[in-house]
Chains A and B, each alone.
Chain A
Amino acid sequence: MLRLLLLVTGLLLPALAQAGTYDLVVERAAMQIVPGRTDSVIAINGTVPGPTLRFKEGEEAVVRVTNKLSATTSIHWHGLLVDGAYDGAPGFNGFAGIAPGETYTYRIRIRQSGTYWYHAHSGGQEQAGQYGALIIAPKAEDPIKSDVEHVILLSDHTREDPARVQKNLKSDSGYYNWNKRTLPELMRDAKKFGMKATMAERAAWGDMRMDATDIADVTGYALLMHGRPTAAGPTLAFQPGQRVRLRFINGSAMSFMDIRIPGVPMTIVAADGRPVQPVTVDEFRMGVAETYDVIVEPPAGAHALWVETLDRRASVLGRLTSDPALTVAAPAARPKQVLLLAEMGHSMPAPGEACTAEHAAMGHCQIAGVTPVAAGAADPDCPPEHAAMGHCTPKAPAAVKPADPDCPPEHAAMGHCTPKAAGPRAATAVALAEKPAGGTPFPVVDYGYGKDPMAGMDHSKMKGMMNMPVLGKEGDTDGSGRVFGWATGAPYGARVLSMRDLVALNPKETAPPTREIIVRLQGNMERYIWTLNGHKFGEGPPIDVRFGERVRVTFINETMMAHPMHLHGMFFEVENGQAPGLMPEKNVIVVAPGRTQSIILTANEAGEWPLHCHLLYHMNSGMMGKLVVANVLGPDGKAVPAAGHVH
């Protein structure tokens, strides 16, 4: 089977251009990450994060990793197409990890380019500092043009031992939540919404034994921008007039992040290493382990690069400046969220589903026809209905430059070509420029992280969870000023990236999937047990996929937390409402609370691949499965992994 793998790899890689050798030494160190205190970390070559590795497409990278820890370690190449044995996940493809004192040699034929990262895949070592950026230059001309670039590896640093963090969560799942609802808050809610409604809402949460303020499981983090917290003043230099490429990597263990540079629009040009058609945003949300490449053309001066966690309890302020003497200030604080039980049944139409005028008016969607798929005809910020209602004024259509004559929109939509010269589109997530009369204080932002399985149903007639009492609508505030809903926080008028905005830059021929695999994301927050299809890692059967098979994998999130689901070894296409050949390729997909998200996978890499939630403590509590790509059935009728080394 190994031979088959080599054969396939050989076909994909006609020639090896060159070889680069890299040495990484993994070691415990005492380091001042946060000025004024010394923490125990795991450093690679003496630094946190480890060195930024720069490979070139076509080379054979040889990486020797030496383990100077007292425990077994590993390095996983996040997003890289590799032979299974070099993927670096212990327990898969015969890889048992790197024992203390040993050196393991990875050999990776680089057959991709873009922004990636690497990190430990053993216990909590990643949290302790064992991660770094991995940048691959394309063999041919880079489709993304820039004058200067910065690698921005974001991470969440704690001085606690990761094993202690896990123990704390197992002992008391609310250990890190210092935002729990209190009795005074209950009284304020009762004043605003009435005692009966408030008590009914609290009772509903109590019946579920869930916490409406459980936004992030772990707090107490110092967010780091390439190893530096705000106090260490992370600085990114540019010259006025330069096109600056920012390579964002969310290398944190547990933190979803909102990213913005007030006053400087950001154009997303790649996601998870793969180029996408440019889309311009004011801010974007990053799931754990995602990467985004962003182009900015900042005016002269200093600009705040503001990164905050979803629960607003950790942040890092960077300085994007053309003058080292200038300083920046953090933007105003945003309200903390409180989850809605009924959020799981919130009627937000999904791609392809009907968008009623009522929803459109609420800013939840846009009437079909104005969705800017390949080349935007209308201003996506201001669909005709809103303009008619006086909510906004449509901007002059940006993309009505003479369309690429080689690539008319019809062809682009069919995935036959990519229109060149089309300017960046604007993000679609926030459609309303300003608050409509009677609207909620904050807009509901459709981040595009999955569709609502209950969309369009009449919730009032449904039993159970969907019938849960709510105090306010998503985007409303409670008696204490918290905003209801997971997908909130951005102000009216902000253009926020939605997963639906991502369109592959390079269209490809695709076939429809031949079967669907359901993966239910489940958990027991109270006992801190997280599972896929009800099984912790190793308890359930692997997901068997034939080599070359094209399958749809549908994630159904039955929990109140967002899970960034990651597949090793392959890219998948995200079913985000774009035409089949234009769906973006990713290796991490966020599934929001209560939502359903499908991906399409062409199983063209043989081996045993981890499929897991990239929240470190979720994975370490069981939220991982094994996806086996093989083409032979054994005598027991079970698939035999193609990469051999079955243990």
Chain B
Amino acid sequence: MRAVLLAALLAAPALAKDGHGHGDAINNYTLVEEADITRFDGKWVANWEVQGWIGGDVNKFWWRTEGETKGPRLEQSEFQALYSRNIAMFFDAQVGLRHDIQPDARSYAVVGVQGLSPLFFETEAHAFFGFKGDVLLRLRQSFDLRMTNRLVVQPLFETDIYLTRVPERLIAPGPAIIEAGVLTRYEITRRVAPYVAVMFERRLGESARLAQAAGENPGGWSLRTGVRFWL
């Protein structure tokens, strides 16, 4: 909550200006990138990945949440509240806070960039500095390949690279988790697109061995179906 308030205050100058309606309008956008339920490891797994913003062309309040429930249990959940400022033609710099409820409660300061790289790669690169001393980098890339004007194949790749050991989360330094796959969506309208995703999500190296030693599944292939939509 504090994070949301802080980021909202940072973005406030953008919201306070009196508009003339020629390029100074306050806009907003909410993208539910992934919302699906699937069977994995003998249980129903629900997954969400949502982000959005409110603001002008330069200053925005940006928020993001992602998480997963397995059976009745909340497996993982994180919330980010960021101040986002346009720094280059296609890129925003972002600072703010992240708070996780699961697997254990902890908070981070966030610094990063988000935007559109050459060749239309959607790029997110953030560093997270945990208040308990843990530090990680997250990189996410995705790309739209159009089969038709409605059928879009979207390869995507995301990795968490830890710089510190996080025993509570069974994490060792290095590239600890990767998520890669292909999300194929059909744009019924530009705003609503059901999808089928073939994803490979797994812990790597020592982080995988730590999880296995603790009796947890280090991850693997999954087939997910859901709906991508934006408001």
Contact = CB atoms under 8 A, between A and B. Distances in A.
A182 B25 CA distance: 33
Interface string B12-47: 000000001111110101000000000000000000
Contacts of B25: 166, 620
Contacts of B119: 203, 206-207
B104 interface: no
Contacts of A90: 20
Interface stretch (A171-179, A262-270, A586-594): A171-179
B54 to A, nearest CB: 12
A75 to B, nearest CB: 16
A622 interface: yes
A527 B22 contact: no
A170 interface: yes
B23 A179 contact: no
A90 B29 CA distance: 28
Nearest to B153: A183
Interface in A606-647: 619-624
A221 to B, nearest CB: 16
Interface stretch (B141-149, B154-162, B174-182, B208-216): B141-149
Nearest to A207: B118
B23 A172 contact: no
Contacts of B89: 524, 526
Interface string A348-363: 0000000000000000
Contact of B146 (A166, A172, A183, A524): A183
A156 to B, nearest CB: 19
Contacts, number: 78
B149 A620 contact: no
Interface in A190-208: 203, 206-207
Contacts of A54: none
A411 interface: no
A179 B149 contact: yes
B90 A526 contact: yes
B182 to A, nearest CB: 13
Contact of A538 (B22, B146, B190): B22
A537 B57 contact: no
A22 B51 CA distance: 52
B116 A538 contact: no
Interface in A253-283: none
Contacts of B57: 527, 529, 536, 622
Measured as residues with beta carbon below 8 angstroms from the partner, the interface class of chain A is: 35 or more
A180 interface: yes
Contacts of B145: 183
Contact of A175 (B20, B147, B190): B190
A122 to B, nearest CB: 7
A621 to B, nearest CB: 5
B193 to A, nearest CB: 12
Given A167-B27, A170-B29, A209-B116, A622 B22 contact: yes
A536 B23 contact: yes
A235 B137 CA distance: 66
Contact of B149 (A170, A182, A203): A182
Interface bin, chain B: 20 to 34
A620 B147 contact: no
Nearest to A529: B57
Nearest to B118: A207
B39 to A, nearest CB: 31
Given A170-B27, A529-B23, A619-B22, A181 B146 contact: yes
B27 A536 contact: no
A170 B27 CA distance: 8
A167 B57 CA distance: 12
B230 interface: yes
Interface string B79-112: 0000000100110000000000000000000000
Contacts of A183: 145-147
A512 interface: no
A215 to B, nearest CB: 14
A14 interface: no
A119 to B, nearest CB: 15
A181 B190 CA distance: 16
B149 to A, nearest CB: 5
Contacts of A91: 20
Given A180-B146, A182-B147, A122 B21 contact: yes
B22 A536 contact: yes
A184 B147 contact: yes
A206 B21 CA distance: 31
Nearest to B121: A206
B221 interface: no
A467 interface: no
Nearest to A181: B146
A441 interface: no
A209 B20 contact: no
Nearest to A612: B22
A457 to B, nearest CB: 26
B118 A538 contact: no
Nearest to B120: A206
B21 A620 contact: yes
Contacts of B22: 536-538, 619-622, 624
Contacts of A203: 119
Contacts of A207: 118-119
B118 A209 contact: yes
From A166, A527, A539, name the one whose CB has the most chain B CB atoms within 10 angstroms.
Answer: A527
Contact of A171 (B29, B86, B90, B118): B29
A537 B23 CA distance: 7
A247 B90 CA distance: 43
Contacts of A347: none
Contacts of A456: none
A187 to B, nearest CB: 11
Interface string A124-146: 00000000000000000000000
A622 B118 CA distance: 25
A183 to B, nearest CB: 6
A443 B116 CA distance: 36
Given A206-B120, A209-B118, A168 B21 contact: no
Contact of A182 (B86, B120, B148): B148
A179 B21 CA distance: 30
B148 A537 contact: no
Contacts of A206: 118-120
Contacts of A624: 22-23
B173 to A, nearest CB: 35
Contacts of A175: 190
Given A172-B190, A207-B118, A207-B119, A622 B23 contact: yes
B183 to A, nearest CB: 16
List of 10 A-B pairs having minimum Cβ-Cβ separation, nearest first: A622-B23, A536-B23, A206-B119, A537-B22, A182-B146, A207-B118, A171-B29, A170-B27, A178-B149, A175-B190
Interface of A: 90-91, 122-123, 166-168, 170-172, 175, 178-184, 203, 206-207, 209, 524, 526-527, 529-531, 536-539, 619-624
13 contacts: A172-B190, A172-B230, A180-B149, A183-B145, A184-B147, A184-B148, A207-B118, A209-B90, A529-B23, A537-B22, A620-B22, A621-B22, A622-B23
